[in-house]
Amino acid sequence: MAISEKLVTECRSKLLASKQDILNRVKEARSNLDQNEEKGGDEGDQTVRVLAEQEFLSMHERLRSQLMEIESALARIENGSFGFCEETEEEIEPERLRAIPWTRLSIEGAEIRESMNKRYARG
């Protein structure tokens, strides 16, 4: 059984839109950071600048991670493995793909992985 071409097309469009949104957010955040780059100021100004940089780096890392997931999903569309759970190898639910088009796991697969993570986290 294969994922419908209509669903794949819908997900590809969502992935490309999400990718563009992320790239725009990074560009805008970098631009805002550069505008506040002026040196000097009192200790308070310098602290605010450092906190803004830390916030930017934290946001940048989250967005970079999400961008990697999107790129991976686009690659899976190209190689024909899109829409199949990495854990169960079954089709991922269409509603789940519409909501999170970069997901690698079905609901069941996510539950399995979560229970495995909990088991190993206890050590």
Judge contact between 27 and 56, C-beta under 8 A: no
For 17-55, what is each residue's pLDDT tens digit? 999 999 999 888 888 777 766 666 778 778 888 888 888
Q: Any idea where the domains of the chain sit in the sequence?
A: 5-122
What pLDDT does residue 85 have? 96
Report the pLDDT averaged over residues 61-72.
95
Q: DSSP per residue over 9-73, as a string?
A: HHHHHHHHHHHHHHHHHHHHHHHHHHHT------HHHHHHHHHHHHHHHHHHHHHHHHHHHHHHH
Instruction: Supply the pLDDT for residue 123.
Output: 57
Query: 5-122 has which CATH code?
Result: 1.20.120.910
| pLDDT mean over 75-103 | 96
In one-letter notation, the amino acid at residue 78 is E
78/42: higher pLDDT: 78
| Rounded-to-integer distance, Cα 111 and Cα 44, Å | 46
Per DSSP, 80 falls in state T
